[in-house]
């Protein structure tokens, strides 16, 4: 890669990190918004699900538009829309405005994230492409991981202060992208590469059906369970520990900040070694079991420090599940990477939509019900990993 291309990629990585950071700022302040405006847990679940729903619906549409209208306009507008959404959330005092803000936030993510992946493919050679997309994925995950912790720290000033900061940084990023990203008529943009959502749409159901072998279906189910479990656990976590265990904002911020730091260390330095030691299937199995066991402790342990440790076990297990399942998925479907990524992203979005809705509704009935549903899904997936290992061994023998 040339120095100029590296500079462009660096700008996109920074902007993607920022937009994902803003997505997850809401989690630590949810109980305070709920109490301040007398919302139900289901109202808060809807607020979380709207983001994922709009992103799910808009991503493939926006992806096709960016192929025609150009990458730079879509990226710049995505950042501007993100800023507006954060300012609306900071100013909101009614439920419909909070919901509108999260929906617009989902639209901004749909405009920016797939387009950034497509831009990376446009700018890089086949040799460098995987590395650059890996950087973008790290920025995406890093923003989602660090956002809750940063939100908790900034909320010590005022629980809406994180959203003012995110909005201002979004405007700065909009200006940076407008100035530093090259025009779309530049020669570097002449190669047209579809993003995963486009390939999923263009491939049609005929290609999807070819993927529906028992082994791949099992992995798809696990992707959904992982997304559902994480969204169901995380979306109500701050509400749960605030109302049941009397965690204040500082305690919530501590947990989420520690999670962000530990998750990044695990993903950057230890994930490859874990795969080498155990293999993807065993790592997936251990993570499902650890997340289920940790969730049991979250329900029944009333010591703050033990509860924090159990929470970190759950979060770190989920954070290892995504790359482990994705790695195994790409190894088993080397000829359909774009299509597989599209299915992966779609199933993740569906889990992110359903998880907060069910957890929020159940939390209004009983504080333990949401987490018992999550535990049940995780234990079933833990059992399925044994069948997954058998099917993979059989596939290797056939080859």
284-337: pLDDT as tens digits: 999 999 999 999 999 988 788 889 999 999 989 988 887 788 778 767 755 555
Verify that 189 and 205 share a domain, yes or no: no
Verify that 246 and 170 share a domain, yes or no: no
CB 122 within 8 A of CB 71: yes
Domain around 381: 197-399
Last residue of a domain, one of 193, 220, 235: 193
Last residue of a domain, one of 193, 220, 241: 193
Residue 295 CB-half CA count within 13 A = 29
Q: What does DSSP assign to residue 124?
A: S
Looking at residue 369, its pLDDT comes to 92
Verify that 282 and 218 share a domain, yes or no: yes
Domain count along the chain: 2
Verify that 275 and 325 share a domain, yes or no: yes
CB 189 within 8 A of CB 4: no
Verify that 110 and 67 share a domain, yes or no: yes
Q: What does DSSP assign to residue 391?
A: H
Verify that 250 and 182 share a domain, yes or no: no
Verify that 310 and 183 share a domain, yes or no: no
Q: What band does 275 get if pLDDT is binned at 50, 70 and 90?
A: confident
Verify that 170 and 214 share a domain, yes or no: no
Burial grade of 396 (CB within 10 A; 0-12, 13-18, 19 or more)? exposed
Verify that 169 and 207 share a domain, yes or no: no
Per the prediction, the chain carries an average pLDDT of: 81
Verify that 109 and 211 share a domain, yes or no: no
Pull the structure tokens for residue 119: 């831009």
257 or 74, greater pLDDT = 74
CA distance 22 to 9: 20
**What CATH number is attached to the domain comprising 238?**
1.20.1250.20
Looking at residue 225, its pLDDT comes to 85
Q: What is the pLDDT of residues 347-389, one digit of tens each?
A: 778 888 898 899 989 988 998 999 999 999 899 889 988 988 8
Verify that 116 and 212 share a domain, yes or no: no
Q: What is the pLDDT of residues 205-221, one digit of tens each?
A: 455 566 667 777 888 88
What Å distances lie between residue 73 and 38, 67, 70, 87, CA to CA?
A: 40, 11, 6, 21
Judged by average pLDDT, the poorest of 98-107, 250-259, 294-303 is 250-259
Last residue of a domain, one of 145, 171, 193: 193
Write down how long the chain is: 399
CA distance 295 to 381: 15
Verify that 247 and 383 share a domain, yes or no: yes
């Amino acid at each position: 890669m040339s120095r100029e291309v590296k500079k462009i990629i660096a700008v996109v990585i920074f902007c993607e990190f920022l937009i994902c950071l803003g997505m997850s700022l809401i989690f630590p302040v949810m109980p305070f918004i709920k109490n301040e405006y007398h919302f139900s847990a289901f109202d808060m679940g809807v607020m979380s699900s709207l983001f994922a729903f709009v992103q799910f619906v808009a991503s493939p549409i926006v992806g096709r538009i960016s192929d025609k209208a150009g990458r730079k306009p879509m990226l710049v507008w995505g950042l501007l829309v993100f800023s507006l959404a954060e300012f609306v959330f900071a100013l909101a005092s009614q439920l419909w405005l909070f919901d509108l803000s999260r929906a617009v936030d989902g639209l901004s993510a749909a405009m920016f994230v797939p387009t950034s992946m497509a831009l990376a493919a446009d700018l890089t050679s086949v040799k460098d492409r995987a590395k650059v997309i890996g950087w973008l994925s790290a920025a995406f995950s890093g923003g989602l991981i660090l956002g809750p912790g940063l939100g908790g720290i900034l909320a010590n000033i005022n629980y809406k202060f994180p959203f003012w900061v995110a909005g201002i940084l979004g405007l700065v990023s909009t200006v940076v992208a407008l100035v530093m990203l090259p025009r779309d008529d530049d020669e570097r943009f002449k190669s047209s590469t579809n993003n995963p959502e486009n390939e999923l749409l263009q491939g049609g159901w005929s290609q999807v059906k070819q993927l529906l072998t028992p082994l791949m279906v099992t992995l798809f189910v696990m992707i959904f369970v992982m997304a559902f479990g994480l969204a169901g656990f995380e979306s109500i976590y701050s509400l749960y520990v605030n109302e049941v265990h009397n965690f204040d904002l500082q305690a919530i911020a501590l947990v989420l900040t520690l999670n962000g730091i530990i998750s990044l260390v695990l993903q950057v330095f230890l994930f490859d070694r874990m795969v080498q030691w155990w293999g993807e299937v065993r790592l997936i199995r251990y993570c499902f079991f650890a997340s289920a066991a940790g969730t049991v402790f979250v329900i029944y342990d009333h010591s703050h420090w033990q509860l924090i440790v159990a929470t970190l076990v759950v979060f770190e297990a989920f954070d290892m599940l995504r790359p482990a399942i994705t790695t195994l998925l790409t190894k088993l479907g080397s000829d359909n990477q774009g299509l597989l990524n599209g299915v992966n992203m779609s199933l993740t979005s569906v889990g992110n939509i359903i998880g907060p809705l069910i957890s929020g509704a159940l939390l209004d009935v009983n504080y333990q019900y949401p987490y018992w549903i999550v535990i049940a899904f995780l234990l079933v997936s833990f059992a399925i990993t044994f069948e997954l290992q058998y099917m993979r061994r059989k596939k290797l023998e056939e080859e």
